[in-house]
Structure 1
Amino acid sequence: MAMVVKNNMQAKNTLNQLDKNDKALAKSLKKVASGMKINSAEDDASGYSISEKMLTQMRSLSQDIDNAQNGNSMLKVAEGGIQSTVDILSTLKEKVINAANDTNTDADRLTIQKELDKAVDQLDENANVQYNGKTVLDGSHNNEVIHPGTYTSLVNESLAPNVSTGDDITDLCDVTGRSLGILPDSKIEYSYVIQGKTYMTTLSPVSAYTVGEMFQMSEDENGDTPLATQISTVFSNNVGKDRTGTDVYTVNGNKALIFKAGTAGVNGQVSGLTINVVNKDGTINQTANSVLNNFYEAIRAENESPDNALTFQIGTKANQTVRIGFSDMRATALGLRAADGSTLSISTQKKANAAISVLELAMDKALKLQTTVGAVESRLGFTVSNLTTASESTNASESIIRDADMAKEMTNYTKNNVLKQAAQSMLAQANQNSSSVLSLLQ
């Protein structure tokens, strides 16, 4: 090999190798210090991109879990308000049943009335329960209700499906075909409640009326004439239209006796209905009463409203949501208070008896909403579990891509450290080799 002094190639080669070893050592040191084998796109461009997407996904899933849990907290507040309403309605029904008992005087009923009035005020307090400044049960967060609102529809499916409006009342049979035992000389006492006012009428004798005339509006005992437009009765399998405008049909698809309010919305709702068949001797036809009073509220009266339902974002993409609308739980919407502020009257035995039906329908409204809230709570619980599993799985995948094997990286670090020291030693040796040229110049 020629002896030169201008270019020390051995030293340059060794220096280049030292630089490579130094960079490799720096990378190993960074991986060991950070615990990640990919610290920048330079380390692994595609792996870094995939890992960053997964990190964003995990952060989004974490926020979804928080959203679902916060939503469940709101629903717990709503459930508490509804449960309090259910408890109050249960107590009120007990009091009204007491008021309907003639062991009480009208003075006693007045005392019970005062208790009822205060309890009705508490129903409005329950409806105004708040979560994070949002009033939950006052109807301000309900689902959309089309114009002009919905009509109360009470359905009785216990009568024979072949009944027609031209049949005699005495020919009425139950759904199994058995006669109700309504005698020609019997009478029917019929009452319903609208706007807190109880309308009562008596059809006597029943032989003078057909089924279509069974619930015609005649003058009641107070001299008031109920309007025929307040309530209508038909036999049909089409109950009416719900809040979305969709036709609602009877459960079994057969014709049923339908009591429908004549006016849409809360102000026109029929909040209670009672039918009492009384024999000529004054005894009650319990068989007929059991069948005729076996109705349910198929469509609830609601005012026209835009869609104000609450939305819980529980997914990482747009519109991955759970929505719930809270029906109005105020006393007016439950039929216990009129628009003028007056409450349901139980001043007489007959009015107290009619009020029992009002409280049953109000209880049904509260329990339906409680069921809806409970179902969404359950769904959010499952959602939290699913989101947690998804977050854990994503985290595991991201870990495989990006997390460093510390044992492996420590081995690499030690190797690169030794190589760097060796290169430094060899560079010193290469530099010393050039000095041997000086011996030729002496």
Structure 2
Amino acid sequence: MTMVVKNNMPAKNTLNQLDKNDKALAKSLKKVASGMKVNSAADDASGYAISEKMRVQINGLEQDDANTQNGKSLLTVAQGAIDSTVEILKTLKEKAISAANDTNTDSDRANIQKELDQSIDQLTDNANVTFNGKTLLDGSKNNSVIEGGTYTHLTNQSLSPETTGDTSILELVTRNNESLGIQSSDTLTISWVQNGETHTKTINPLAYFERELNPNFYSGSGLPRYIDVKKGYTLKKILEETEGRIQLASVDANIGANQFGNTVKTADGQNAITIKSSTPGVAGQIAGFTIGITDKDGNQRKFANNALDAFDESIRAQNESEDNALVFQIGTKANQAVKVGMTDMRPAALGLTSTDTPVKTLSVSNQDDANAAINVLDHAVQKALDQQTQLGAIASRMDYTAANLTTARENTQASESVIRDANMAQEMTAYTKNNILTQSAQAMLAQANQNSSQVLSLLQ
């Protein structure tokens, strides 16, 4: 063995190995202490970048879940208010039915009217329910409504698809081709409620004479002769009695345009009679439209009334509006959201009061008004239930959304764990190995340093 003093290479080599072992020991110690095999980009550059993106995803999913839960809480508040509205409307219908019964005196109806007024006032409080300072059901959180607003559309799908606005009421038949049995001597009463005011018109008899040219007969002077032709009232002519407030909209499967400007069709795709308000928006809405037929003795023609008094609201009247719907952010990317529009649930929008001042309230002060109010309240209940159904469907979806977010977060966390988390058994094995190697290198460095001291014996 060469004995040198200036360069002790065995000691140099041992020192280098000790330094490597010390660094490996430090890394092992860091992994064991942190529980992660990737503590910085230096440990695994690509793995570190991927896992950090996953951590961003995990944090976003956690916030999405919180957003979903908060959104569901908001929907629960709105649903509670609508539940109360539906209960009030059911009570109001009971009162209207009671007021329509002639066992009540006008004084009784006046008392019922007072109760009805107070209950309708409560509907305003329900519509003004708030969540975190946001008023929910006053129309301020509505979806967009086309320019000018929408018109009330009422569709009757009980009459034959062949029925038109020019069909004589004496010739009307049902979907099953059964005659309504209306006679020209019968009396027809139409009622409608608009802007809080009840209107009633009576038509009798249901036939009229109209002068028409008779092409087969001429007077002695050679001029055409006119004759009087007996005709039955048509739906068009009946609507003329509304003084232009209600008009025929369509006689086919296309009902009209909804709030988004899309065409609404009948449920069964067949032709049906549709009437509409002549003025758009809440102020012009037809809250209820009632047709009743009585015979010459004053008896109700129930079969005919069931078919005629079946004009259900197919398009709701709404004021022009921008898109103010609420947006629930439920995803980690932009525009991964759920939009929730809440229509106006105030009494005027439900057709129970006027929009002007002083406010007119739905009347049950006499039998005719109370009878007309029944259909108004049916339509109001349907409006509330439509909104409740929409919110309930979204709330149900939010439950699935929350479950999906939880699963996605769990799976992403598991993937991130594969990249970052240390196998503690493996790392402890490496730590023990590096610790022993470090101690061994320290011992060998001491031995290598002894080689230089042996040179002194030669110099003595």
1:230/1:268 contact within 8 Å kept? no
CA distance in 2, matches of 1:92, 1:152: 22
* 1:387 counterpart residue number: 405
1:419 maps to 2:437: yes
Q: In structure 2, do the counterparts of structure 1 residues 233 and 106 end up closer, same or farther at CA, with 3 Å as the change threshold?
A: farther
**1:211 is the counterpart of 2:234:** yes
Match of 1:223 in 2: none
Partner SS state of residue 108, structure 1: helix
1:43-85 residue CA offsets vs partner (Å, 9 max, x unmatched): 1111111111111110011111111111000000000010000
Q: Any conservation in 1 of the 2:145–2:318 contact (CA below 8 Å)?
A: yes
Does residue 98 (structure 1) correspond to residue 98 (structure 2)? The answer is: yes
- 1:189–1:203 contact (8 Å) kept in structure 2: yes
Match of 2:3 in 1: 3
Deviation of 1:255 after TM superposition, in Å, equals 2.0
How does the TM-score come out when normalised to structure 2? 0.93
- Give the superposed CA RMSD: 1.1
**Given that residues 185 and 206 in structure 1 are in contact (C-alpha distance below 8 angstroms), is that contact kept between their aligned partners in structure 2?**
yes
Q: Secondary structure at the match of 2:286?
A: coil
State the shift of 1:11 in Å.
0.7
Quote how far apart the aligned CAs of 1:264 are: 0.3
Shift, 1:388, TM fit:
0.7
Structure-2 residue corresponding to 1:268 = 284
Select which of 379, 383, 388 maps to 1:370.
388
- The amino acid across from 1:57 in the alignment is Q
> For residue 35 of structure 1, what is the aligned residue in structure 2?
35
Which of 305, 310, 321 aligns to 1:289? It is 305
1:307 equivalent to 2:323? Answer: yes
- Report the more deviating stretch, 158-167 or 67-76: 158-167
Aligned counterpart, 1:334: 350
Deviations 1:187-206 (A, max 9, x none): 11110000111111111111
Q: Which residue of 2 aligns with 1:132?
A: 132
Measured after TM superposition, the shift of residue 229 of structure 1 is 3.8
1:97 & 1:214 partners in 2: Cα distance?
30
Specify the alignment match of 2:424 in structure 1.
Answer: 406
Question: Where do residues 26-425 of structure 1 align in structure 2 (5 Å cutoff)?
Answer: 26-208=26-208, 209-218=232-241, 226-232=242-248, 234-339=250-355, 340=357, 341-425=359-443
Partner Cα separation in structure 2 for residue 70 and residue 338 of structure 1 = 35
**CA–CA separation in structure 2 for the residues paired with 1:391 and 1:174:** 58
With normalisation by structure 1, the TM-score equals 0.97
Query: Residue type matched to 2:309 in 1?
Result: N
Q: CA deviation at 1:419?
A: 0.6
Q: Report if aligned partners of 2:35, 2:422 keep a CA contact under 8 Å in 1.
A: yes
Secondary structure of the corresponding residue to residue 207 of structure 2: helix
Unaligned runs of 5+ in 2: 209-231
Q: Distance in 2 between matches of 1:185 and 1:129?
A: 52
CA contact (8 A) 1:82 1:126 kept: yes
SS in 1 for 2:238: coil
Distance 1:192 1:258 in 2: 15
Instruction: Give ranges in structure 1 of 5+ residues lacking alignment.
Output: 219-225
Task: State the Cα deviation string for residues 234-292 of structure 1 (Å, max 9, x = none).
Answer: 52322111111112222222221112000000000000111111011111000011111
Q: Which amino acid aligns with 2:197?
A: K
Structure 1: distance between partners of 2:446 and 2:294: 121
